Chain A
Amino acid sequence: MILNLIEELDIKGHLTISKVYKSGQEEVVFDDHNIIVSGMGVALAHLFALSGSNSILDYQIDRFQLGLSGGSVLEVSSTNSLSGPLSSMDEYVGVAGNILATSGYQIRNNSIYAYANSYGTIPQQNVTRVDDDTVRYTIFIDQESCNNLTRNGSNVSINEIGLFVKNIKNNDPVAPILVAYRYFSPIRKTSDFGLIFRWSINF
């Protein structure tokens, strides 16, 4: 008897991105499905096999990355990293942003990629059980965060996002693994607006 848990459970996600202006007005700029990547299966295999961390907190999706050079070619299950993730915690936090950022290694291609990566964190209060088998992650990039990003002196836009499970190997420093990915139309982030990513995953 052979089951593929990800396919048979039909784990899928949906991402909505909204701009929120200072006036309070909210504008939906993206509303589509996402890609559950193979890292989700690797994380769940570690959990159910009891071959990784002994704490279920290490199997939670508690962080994300934003990136600058995504593409639809990355929307496949074998994707294990963003194409061009933000390169420092300062890029997440900005000058006076309220977003929380952290750093850690990353699991890629079944090995620990031992270079510092930056992540935005998802606070517990932004993780909501919508129903018995659905979780919604709300990521708020406030007006002061991720603004006016540049590469080689040129302005660049955010166009990819990924969700990460915390630390399945109980590694020190933590080594998150990418579990969901989505490319979207470029958004040049400025202090004129904040961004809300509402990401629901149905298990």
Chain B
Amino acid sequence: MLVDGAGELIVDVMTANRSLASIPSASAILDASNYTFHAISYGKDADGFRNHAHTILSPSSTKTIKVKSYDAVTVSSYHTSSTASALADTYKLLPRYPSPLDRRLELNSTVTTYSSGVPDVGQCLNSVINPSLSAYSHLIGCFPASAPTTYWMVSSVLNTTGSVIFSGTLSSFYNYYSLMDTSGFLTFAPGYAAAQNALWDAADYTKGVVRACKTSFPEKINMGWRLNNGDAGGLLLFGGLYHIGLWYLDLKEMLKQGYYPPYSFNTLNNIRKYKLFAKKTFNKDLLYLNDAGGLSAFKTYFDSASALRTAVTILWDINFV
């Protein structure tokens, strides 16, 4: 769903002051690259930020992502819906319905169970790269480090070490290639159409989301990006994937704060401010998967050590005609 921010961006373009073109220090404001898509983010139901792996399971000091499975112990996947069913008295798994008025993915607070210093941004954070939050990233989420991060699937909250159903490690593609900032914004690959089309043809997502158009008179834009096994596994352990947001640069806010283009992307100290352009909300976890044929689905497809670990390529097309 396109939200009101999309129309506001177009009006920003239509009403930009033409006289800026003659001011050398300000003309960069008129560069078209400031007015297109710049980030993707992931979200889930607001209460999900206080459930799943966000719940403090002792020992909390191990920096291990720990989550209690409410499925039978013979099931080696993680189903967010099973957690919601088991905790139905206290937890309603209900992602916010999309509205054109939305300015973020979740309107209610998304501060996690461990809340000290955790910003309320309405989406999944990438806390593991934030120096002030990384010590608790196994509670804040929602992505593993680039180096292998241990996870435990347990059957008991009271005895985590003695009730591990399965365990392993997850490694982040986004953090390995420095594609996602601490607020969870996955950047787009830089460059104009020719460079983007070359990345698209090569299926090269190591520079970020690719925005391609394959004709000289494009009538649609293809966007594609990689959700690799480690990042998908992290998102699933922390509550699944129910929202995807598409963002552009909030140029006015950055100018107000004294930042002038070009706006380079930096994962740790990202000066970029974003506004929501569109969002997609799912009523079923996009990462839902089941065991099959005796294989543990989670370990098979998400674990760093699995030979069958896989990546999801997400494609989002926007038609203009």
- A45, B220: Cβ atoms closer than 8 Å: yes
Closest chain B residue, CB of each to CB of A38: B321
Residues of A within 8 A of B35 (CB): 47-48, 56
Cα A119 to Cα B215 with chains together (Å): 28
- B219, A133: Cβ atoms closer than 8 Å: no
With A45-B218, A56-B16, A132-B7 as contacts: A2 and B320 at CB distance below 8 Å = no
Residues of B within 8 A of A183 (CB): none
Closest chain B residue, CB of each to CB of A165: B14
* CB contact between B319 and one of A3, A50, A54 (< 8 Å): that residue: A3
With A5-B320, A127-B15, A133-B8 as contacts: A45 and B21 at CB distance below 8 Å = no
B32 within 8 A of A: yes
A8 within 8 A of B: yes
| B32 vs chain A, min Cβ distance (A) | 5
A141 within 8 A of B: no
Query: A119-146 CB contact bits vs B (8 Å, 1 = yes)?
Result: 0000010011100111100000000000
Query: B284-316 CB contact bits vs A (8 Å, 1 = yes)?
Result: 000000000000000000000000000000011
Cα A42 to Cα B220 with chains together (Å): 8
For A, the interface residue count at a CB cutoff of 8 angstroms equals 43
A154 within 8 A of B: no
A49 within 8 A of B: yes
B247 within 8 A of A: no
B267 within 8 A of A: no
- A51, B213: Cβ atoms closer than 8 Å: yes
Closest chain B residue, CB of each to CB of A62: B18
* CB contact between B13 and one of A11, A47, A201 (< 8 Å): that residue: A47
Chain B: interface size category:
35 or more
Cα A1 to Cα B282 with chains together (Å): 11
- A9, B321: Cβ atoms closer than 8 Å: no
Residues of B within 8 A of A132 (CB): 4, 7-8, 11
A64 within 8 A of B: no
A30 within 8 A of B: no
B157 within 8 A of A: no
Cα A97 to Cα B59 with chains together (Å): 82
A-contacting residues, B5-50, CB 8 Å: 6-8, 10-11, 13-19, 21, 30-37
Closest chain A residue, CB of each to CB of B33: A50
Cα A140 to Cα B10 with chains together (Å): 24
Query: A36-74 CB contact bits vs B (8 Å, 1 = yes)?
Result: 001001101111111111111101111000000000000
A113 within 8 A of B: no
Query: Which of B18, B30, B36, B216: most chain A CB closer than 10 A?
Result: B18
Please list 24 pairs of residues, one from A and one from B, whose beta carbons are closer than 8 Å in the complex, sorted by A's number: A5-B2, A9-B2, A9-B10, A41-B219, A41-B319, A45-B321, A47-B35, A48-B36, A48-B211, A48-B318, A48-B320, A49-B36, A49-B196, A49-B218, A50-B32, A50-B33, A50-B193, A51-B218, A54-B33, A60-B13, A110-B217, A111-B217, A128-B15, A203-B7
Measured CB to CB, the residues of A under 8 A from B are: 1-6, 8-9, 11, 38, 41-42, 44-57, 59-62, 110-111, 124, 127-129, 132-135, 201-203
Measured CB to CB, the residues of B under 8 A from A are: 1-2, 4, 6-8, 10-11, 13-19, 21, 30-37, 191-193, 196, 211-213, 216-221, 278, 280, 315-321
